[in-house]
Chains A and B, each alone.
Chain A
């Protein structure tokens, strides 16, 4: 298993029982980023919803987008609130906007040194972090500064 940013034992994501976000999680396993766009008015939206919040159409499409974005906000938790994080030390989380998809936002860890400077507005690219040894294997979308 390849190295992961946070230790083993973190909560593992599973698709919603109602099937709403299955295309996203299947896409990440292939190293692809899939998000929602309205088939009626073109509105982008995230997280997954059953209908378009702009025109209330149920014609939602899943669309593959480029894995790049801009840091909208960030945080660095020091205090561990989950047993798996005890002893890990501070880690960095970024809220990333995707300009190519209507500035929808996604959360991920910012890969790199734990004390790296984080710049709001900085460009980042997606890294697909596979967790193949999990009971139900999954892949997280992480981010690293664009070089």
Chain B
């Protein structure tokens, strides 16, 4: 691809039919080098989820609890774990965890670059690549966050002076993720005539699903339309309070083994069918100068995902899409080809998004908004539950699940999991 074609990619987004066709990847041959079917998720585990600052346990303790539960879920001994993969500069490094768990042979340690939750699917993919290539046999993908014990994401940095990219934003009051990403969504919604009801539907879907999920921090705290409409602005004209993710304390982990190994373990194996990461032309350009700005950063990633997995958006049974903000869900789902940008008002309704009978059940655990802000790893665990048939909001006969990681940052990532019959 030449540079000029790259620059023109932003225009592809405005041509809805071209865009959807590209995302659906119709006719695209699956790469012979695909990860498809080689690696399985054999175990999942999480700590109790808390509101930020309410965990009685240290962050590392929460993480160790999650890892031990994932091992128990899989039916493996903790000492069999020989690799770790994480993202977003997780504070708990693999050597520390391996020492705590008494792991005799640490064979793989991997940190995926990039802030926010954009790397959660990439971390799963990186761990899976290690298993597929034999660098390790049993890799834990993890994330632990005790925002009450460390600096919260939603607050500006306390530094008296700023330089680099921040020098062009912080002095004007653009500091938090909500403030940094609202600009993208404002322009997207303006250009495509998207109504705020789209965002309300995404928020209400997560809260509705959380009411059936005893793990959810918002379990027993339903959200009705009036409460949403009356909630205060965080950043006008896109983010009201309920459009923004929570800040939580907790930890989650999943365990990757080879497809062969998974068959002998306790749970029904869930296979990784494909994964992709990255971002398009100059997505990280300073001072909001990304070429394709009104975007969630998936314009080139989503087509590659479908190509490696060998499936299309129409094949997906259940969708988990990371909510940093409801606007990010909207743009990411569009960029993965589930609807054209101009179709958002019709596609994003509570009826379409709610399990079990919605057209495209979304964030069936309650997600980052209403289950727990576990930086998206909770949504990966939920996709596994759906394909095992263990979800609190089970989609009948779900065989293919998609996970979209944190949108609007760079790099972003997404993946597709499948049950055995999809191989």
Query: Residues on A close to B: CB < 8 A?
Result: 6, 10-17, 21, 25, 45-49, 53-54, 72-79, 81-82, 85, 90-91, 93, 95, 104-109, 120, 136, 140
Within the assembled complex, what's the spacing in Å between the Cα atoms of A106 and B165? 11
Query: Residues on B close to A: CB < 8 A?
Result: 3, 154-157, 159-176, 178-179, 182-184, 186-187, 190, 232-238, 282, 285-289, 293-294
Pick from B236, B238, B288, B294: contact of A105, CB under 8 Å: B288
Q: Is the CB of B289 within 8 A of A15?
A: no
With A73-B186, A74-B186, A77-B179 as contacts: A14 and B233 at CB distance below 8 Å = no
Q: In whole Å, how far is B193's beta carbon from the nearest beta carbon of chain A?
A: 13
Q: Which residue of A lies closest to B152 (CB)?
A: A81
How many pairs of A and B residues are in contact by the CB < 8 Å rule? Answer: 139
Within the assembled complex, what's the spacing in Å between the Cα atoms of A7 and B188? 31
Pick from A15, A47, A75: contact of B165, CB under 8 Å: A47
* B155 proximity list for chain A (CB < 8 A): 81-82
* B293 proximity list for chain A (CB < 8 A): 72-73, 105
Q: In whole Å, how far is B194's beta carbon from the nearest beta carbon of chain A?
A: 14
- List 24 A-B pairs, Cβ < 8 Å: A6-B171, A11-B157, A11-B161, A14-B161, A14-B163, A14-B167, A21-B167, A47-B168, A49-B286, A54-B3, A73-B187, A73-B190, A74-B186, A75-B182, A75-B183, A75-B237, A76-B236, A77-B173, A81-B175, A82-B155, A95-B183, A95-B288, A106-B168, A106-B287
Q: In whole Å, how far is A18's beta carbon from the nearest beta carbon of chain B?
A: 9
Q: Is the CB of B173 within 8 A of A6?
A: yes
Q: Is the CB of A6 within 8 A of B172?
A: yes
Q: In whole Å, how far is B366's beta carbon from the nearest beta carbon of chain A?
A: 23
* B236 proximity list for chain A (CB < 8 A): 75-78, 90
Q: Is the CB of A109 within 8 A of B163?
A: no
* A54 proximity list for chain B (CB < 8 A): 3
* Besides A73-B186, A107-B168, 11 other A-B contacts (C-beta < 8 A): A10-B173, A13-B168, A16-B164, A47-B285, A72-B293, A73-B293, A81-B175, A93-B179, A107-B169, A109-B173, A140-B171
